Amino acid sequence: AIQLANVNFMIVEWIPFGTNNVVALNERLGALDRCQGGLFTSQVDTKPTSTALKGPEDLTSVSIIDFDLIHFINFETEIKYTEALGIVQVECFGMHLRMDGTVVNGMKIEAIMERRADNISLDSLA
């Protein structure tokens, strides 16, 4: 089996969208807000006029790194899902989206299962 060390990977793809989509994404992620980013969930707020929202602890955190309202946005995301006892899973990755449809995802692999960063199996990445 092929073993890798200090694995960083990037996925680059093209998705057909334009300026309006980038503006909408910037607005939805709160790039223009004083407190950028935030916590996101798929749970629907059943009491939107209430001053508090009780939700699950497995939220997605988004931090805006850089943006231009109509040209691009760079952000980091940390996905926090509840795992079974004894399983530690940290998913943190960065994304770059441009108005021409370029989407770049990047991640550094620090461990997969019992394998640490200096001994990652190529089979585990697949």
Question: What's the first-to-final CA gap in the chain, in angstroms?
Answer: 13
pLDDT (0 to 100) of residue 56: 67
Confidence (pTM):
0.74
Q: 44 falls in which pLDDT band (50, 70, 90)?
A: confident
Q: Are 65 and 97 in contact, with CB atoms under 8 Å apart?
A: no
> Running DSSP on this structure, what letter comes out for residue 120?
E
For the chain, give the percent of residues with pLDDT over 90: 33
**6 with 117: CB under 8 angstroms?**
yes
Q: What is the pLDDT of residues 52-109, one digit of tens each?
A: 767 666 778 889 999 999 999 999 988 877 777 877 677 889 999 999 999 999 988 8
Residue 67: HSE in the Cβ half-sphere, 13 Å Cα cutoff: 25
